Amino acid sequence: MSCSKLSFLFESAATTETIGRHSFIGADPRKTLISGSSHGYEADPLPRLDEELSQYRIASIPSLRLPPMTGGAIGYVGYDCVKYFEPKTKRPLKDVLGVPESLFMLFDTIVAVDHFFQKVMVITYLHVPPKDEPEGALGKAYDSCKKTIADMLRTLKDPHLPLPPQGPIKLDQEYTSNIGRPGYEAHVNRLKGHIVAGDIIQAVPSQRIARPTSLHSFNIYRHLRTVNPSPYLFYLDCEDFQIVGASPELLVKADQDTGRVINHPIAGTVTRGTTPEEDQRLADTLRASLKDRAEHVMLVDLARNDVNRVCDPLTTRVDQLMVVQRFSHVQHLVSEVSGVLRKGKTRFDAFRSIFPAGTVSGAPKVRAMELIAELEGEKRGVYAGAVGYFGYNTVDSSTGEETEGAMDTCIALRTMLVKEGVAYLQAGGGIVFDSDPGEEYEETMNKAAANMRCIEQAERLHWEEQQAGGKLGTEEMVGMQNGVEERNGKHLEARCVALDYPFYSPITAPTSTPRSSRRSPPHTVASPKTSSSSSSPTSLLPAVLALFDISSAQLPSLGNKDSVHDGDDKDKMAKDDKPAADPRMMSVTPRIRYNTIGGVNGPLVILENVKFPRFNEIVSLTLPDGTERSGQVLEARGSRAVVQVFEGTSGIDVKKTKVEFTGHSLKLGVSEDMLGRIFDGSGRAIDKGPKVLAEDYLDINGSPINPYARLYPEEMISTGISAIDTMNSIARGQKIPIFSAAGLPHNEIAAQICRQSGLVQLQKEQQDGVNKGVHDDHDDNFSIVFGAMGVNLETSRFFTRDFEENGSMERVTLFLNLANDPTIERIITPRLALTTAEYYAYQLEKHVLVILTDMTSYCDALREVSAAREEVPGRRGYPGYMYTDLSTIYERAGRVEGRNGSITQIPILTMPNDDITHPIPDLTGYITEGQIFVDRQLHNKGVYPPINVLPSLSRLMKSAIGEGHTRADHSDVSNQLYAKYAIGRDAASMKAVVGEDALSDEDKLSLEFLERFEKGYIAQGAYEKRSIYDGLDQAWELLRIYPKELLNRIPKKVLDKYYQRQGKKPESKDTKDGEEQGNGEAATNGEQNGEQNGGGEESLI
């Protein structure tokens, strides 16, 4: 293998169950696809790659499960290919390096190493010959595959593989930069000018460093994997040049296990410390850096948009946010964004959407790339591009269902290009508004330091060996980490099992686009597709497979060489030669119980020496008395896990409590049967109803709606409260909080909204000769999800009793977290409520109103957990990430393109000390779309509900009201009420200073309006439901205390239509005619006044 001029080696230093679990090796590809201006194909390389891969499919066999890559296309896409994906970025650039823009090798045989289960597999493909081939062709192809595996086994069993020859070493050669410090700092200053001008928010320029070296490129790689272990280690021998890399960052991955497309933004860097304490201090500094956090959040948002361009917006989510990961020389802030591909989109669409990563380009991405090209003036080559693989599609051998192949690519960072005795390194950094040019230059040098040190140390090592007159010692095959090795003084041979299966299994090739599967096929094997366009039955043949179990000590035969492989004996051979299933071939995730609790801190349990803990993973705890509790991994760092226990940590014995990691995140079983039911804060039913039979299980973290797919709210949700419906109308899909305070009746208002709320639908009906426009309608498409957090027992009984006694319970799902329940439960309660709402809205297509009270209790729980984790506090002791955390809740409200349902959210919060500048209402106000303000002064006056309409605001009101939604006069009436109420408040203040006798007649009229507005319009019975048109009619009754000419915020034509309409009592024709004559005169006067006042077209909304 090492003698091949075209070969690859993919490794990983991060060996969890999902990240970096496998290493792959291949040599002598059957075909190579190259693109570039001097390589005969200058175009987007992905269509040609897709076409080549589509010629072959892999049959899925249920007895085994193989790695995500069992073959396919392995190589790279250079950064400069972006000009094909985003033509606006194309610029004339110098080609200094002279390497292809892309290169992919297609292999028939690869070696895969499973680090998690410690197995090595050899996989080769049998190309199924057409059925019109002479008899015996298939048997010959099968024999050829067996010979290929036998040859590979001989190579792998050899414990002493020769290393590449190494010539004389020359030390201490100089590095040269293509631009140097002055050039790089000049680029930074120019980009900062574009940022100030508003052209971009961030950009990532780079510099290239070159250094002559006499090292063999593979010896560079051997040392790099030691000094800079990374999640993505790769060596690509492309004949004329080699690519050596240790990338920390995934670009895009299509995960067949979950069906998700995954992206890992990395931004924010500090160096490593010399001691663990300094390391931690630097990590804390990185977390607290406003510049790095702002840059990182921006790139996470960019990644969300990239992912959402090709994914179902409901599935796009941020799985991890700003986790510090440590590498050999630096520490980074790392996040994870993922989504499920939309119908009709493929992994190649996902690659185009995300490539290149925002972490190597900037934001807005296209403009940033344009500026990078103009500044750098040279092709970047492999740097900042992608290295990885695209696997073959899989076909289920029993159903014919086709699943899109795997994809796993990393960003070509910390990567060296070795060509003609020169190693080229390239590194860059994100430039934002407050970047310091000198510090940014040093950051690029820090990023390149691992590769620079690698070359220097490797040269020194080989030079010393040569000076000593010895030879460099041989070692076992690179890539077989923890593989075939010396144990108990003996070299263990790997055990091989040859698998034979029936040759022909007719399957109709599907003509539709392959779907993205949530489950990986249990076993994948290869077969070619007879025609790229044919839909006729295709014969699919499993590959010949060799599977190594490292703990074995014998190598059985590959099979009977005398077996007949052609003609009528094919079926006999399949039956007779097929070996019994080996139980070790079954891929079973181990479940390990730990008793390694390192400590308990408040609601948190700290576990040490845990194998591969995962963020958000659910944990089961068994106490010494057999009691079971559950928790969730809040932080996973190396072998240390911080777990938040839902039921609290009281009674946990650190020495005797056992902990088991379940391998999955917290999910809620959902069903329409949840309507009318009551659950506790952890999702357990606490009423006397039967157990809910789940129709689906949904991750409670949900998916905040991406703006790309969000529909602008247009219809109105009615609450039956005039101060809200008339003055601050709520649109379907809006998120609008109620700001209250201790001692105010926000719970009563919440209960009243639950009793009275519903949809507003346009109705054309005549009542007393008047077109009312709309009426309220509580139909089956409307539901309510109510989440109460940290409430006392009396309040919880109030809610349940009120809903049940007034008949609203049948359309409500109620989650109750009591004040004496565990703190952690308070954090998951709103997520349970919103997950239920998402099921109702997007699967059952209901319009859902979510009411959450009290968000202040929720934020206090966040603060308690943050303090237990000893995090650096933010404003008033609350965690610095509270804004982001609240966003993950509030942003789940909305409407989504292609879905009929909607989620409207009314979070209720009590402002500590009535302080609207407190961090909780302050941050809530930034995220949401207005606020309803509950006022203590009105409450003290005996007004219920004490809603002060002046500081209240609904930013989406305009889209929910007016002709076609409520009534044509709605906006104008609301504007006039606002104006007159504000004037009335001013008149009351003036009266307190100068007395009533000093007021003008208009001021006295304003005082009368103020009294009637607060006591007769804002004030409303707790069980009084007003429809929107009742509220508008009452508003006109109130406004009629003013002469028509003083209603200057209502247009003349609206005044003409509504001002003179009085009660609806029956009248004689003569009386009615007389009134109409009088109304006509009033209208004439109104017209004159309207003309004098300019028509009154001004609007407050």
Q: Is residue 660 part of a domain?
A: yes
Q: Is residue 1048 part of a domain?
A: yes
Q: Is residue 1046 part of a domain?
A: yes
At residue 766, the pLDDT reads: 36
- Residue whose token pair is 């110098």: 94
Where does residue 1083 rank: exposed (0-12), middle (13-18), buried (19+ CB within 10 A)? middle
Report d(CA 541, CA 543) in Å as an integer.
6
Q: Is residue 22 part of a domain?
A: no
At residue 779, the pLDDT reads: 66
For every residue of 944-1000, which 3-state class applies, written as one string? Answer: CCCEEEEEEEECCHHHCCCCCCCCCCHHHHHHHHHHHHHHHHHHHHHHHHHCHHHCC
Q: Is residue 976 part of a domain?
A: yes
Report d(CA 723, CA 720) in Å as an integer.
9
Can you give the length of the chain in residues?
Answer: 1101
What CATH number is given to the structural domain containing 632?
A: 2.40.30.20
Among residues 290, 316, 340, the one where a domain terminates is 340
Burial 278-296 (b: 16+ CB within 10 A, else e): ebeebbeebbebeebbbbb
At residue 1059, the pLDDT reads: 87
Owning domain of residue 1059: 969-1101
CA angle 906, 912, 914 (to 5 degrees): 85
Among residues 316, 340, 364, the one where a domain terminates is 340
SS3 419: strand
Report d(CA 192, CA 199) in Å as an integer.
10
Please tell me whether the peptide bond between 68 and the residue prior to it is cis, using omega within 30 degrees of 0: no
Report yes or no: 728 and 716 within 8 Å, Cβ to Cβ: no
Among residues 310, 340, 370, the one where a domain terminates is 340
Give the residue among 615, 649, 647, 645 at the shortest CA–CA distance from 633: 615
At residue 4, the pLDDT reads: 56
At residue 20, the pLDDT reads: 58
Q: Is residue 826 part of a domain?
A: no
Token pair in block for residue 803: 């809903």
How many Cα atoms are found within 13 Å in the side-chain-facing hemisphere of 305? 13
Give the residue among 492, 362, 380 at the shortest CA–CA distance from 430: 362
Annotated catalytic residues are: 332, 359, 383, 414, 430
Give the residue among 329, 269, 272 at the shortest CA–CA distance from 299: 269
Q: How far is CA 208 from the centre of its chain?
A: 33
pLDDT along the chain (1101 residues), means of 10: 73 59 86 90 94 85 71 94 94 94 93 78 83 80 87 79 78 89 95 94 94 92 85 92 91 82 88 86 89 86 89 87 81 90 92 91 92 95 95 78 87 94 93 92 88 89 78 35 30 29 28 38 37 35 39 30 34 36 32 79 86 82 88 83 84 88 84 93 88 87 75 89 95 95 94 91 47 48 94 92 88 93 88 95 93 94 85 88 92 89 95 92 93 95 95 93 89 95 93 88 92 94 91 93 92 89 42 40 38 36 28
At residue 797, the pLDDT reads: 92
Report d(CA 207, CA 191) in Å as an integer.
15
At residue 987, the pLDDT reads: 92
At residue 772, the pLDDT reads: 44
Report d(CA 704, CA 852) in Å as an integer.
17
SS3 774: strand
Strand order in the sheet with 716-718: 730-731, 716-718, 758-762, 774-777
What CATH number is given to the structural domain containing 1056?
A: 1.10.1140
What is the rounded end-to-end Cα distance, in angstroms, of the chain? 73
Beta bridge partners of 250: 410
pTM score, two decimals? 0.51
Q: Is residue 274 part of a domain?
A: yes
Please tell me whether the peptide bond between 229 and the residue prior to it is cis, using omega within 30 degrees of 0: no
At residue 704, the pLDDT reads: 62
Counted domains in the chain: 3
Q: Is residue 293 part of a domain?
A: yes
Report d(CA 237, CA 478) in Å as an integer.
15
